[in-house]
A and B are shown apart, each in its own frame.
Chain A
């Protein structure tokens, strides 16, 4: 099936990119493992979509697809939140930097 092929290829590309970033020291080991798990599950689910039904039943959710959608939405929101906090921190650091430069420049004169 086409969607299976797309899923597996996307997963493999994802793993390659994550691995490359990890080797370059751009991601921490924890984040790397999380991404690896995410890509691997994408590949497994693509090859055998019915595995999701198994987990869905365990969690009391009717269909496997529902479980995936629910997890995907939660995951996406979590990422959004993380990104928001990250940007906020960067803004704060930037402001501190700009302030420090302003104070130094004037008082050195």
Chain B
């Protein structure tokens, strides 16, 4: 059964930490396309919180604020809980740094509306990636494979789409950047059907400075080893 895609059925979660330069543009682009937007301001210390005041009375953009910074994983989980509460048909996660093309939301949701899969992760083109980011992402793919037994070509991508039922079954605990790998592990554990769809990536100095670089990769690795030791 193929359902027609209605932007109103899609809730987009945007976790944001100190994104004063990009947040307004990202949100207005999402709003213009008719999506419901949930922003999680993860204890930003720049003017992000003030900028978000603009949406105070906006029903299409709901802002949830963490009073202190708790990390990407924590912010995504808050967004997920808020989104699930509204029972949309599809839930999309979207980075606030402007690296994603809002038009790609349709592309990642399409396999869901066609009922081909339960989860779609947007795959960035690694050949276009700056070298340091490319290495960081490759290492994270390997870590995801070693620790969770799943190979996915772009495990750290921030653009993901879930059906409501799939999102219900994903329960993440990692508070930081390790959450991206954990989501893939949860998809596998719940037996959900996963698929990658190529997406565009917009590289600006901002999108390069944030995200998965080597240092973050090593930090995630140490955390995963500790997690395994804890389970022993």
Binding site for B on A (CB under 8 A): 84-85, 88, 91-92, 94-95, 98-99, 101-103, 105-107, 109
Contacts and interface: CB of A to CB of B under 8 A. Distances in A.
A94 B175 CA distance: 11
A103 B68 contact: no
Contacts, number: 44
B175 A91 contact: yes
Contact of B66 (A85, A92, A102): A102
A99 B74 contact: yes
Interface residues of B, number: 21
Contacts of A105: 64-65
B206 to A, nearest CB: 25
A103 B230 contact: no
A109 to B, nearest CB: 8
Report whether over half of chain A's contact residues are helix, strand or loop; otherwise say mixed.
helix
A94 B70 CA distance: 9
Contact of A103 (B43, B67, B81, B226): B81
A91 to B, nearest CB: 7
Nearest to B62: A106
A85 B230 CA distance: 8
Return the 3 tightest CB-CB contacts between A and B, nearest first. A102-B64, A99-B78, A98-B66
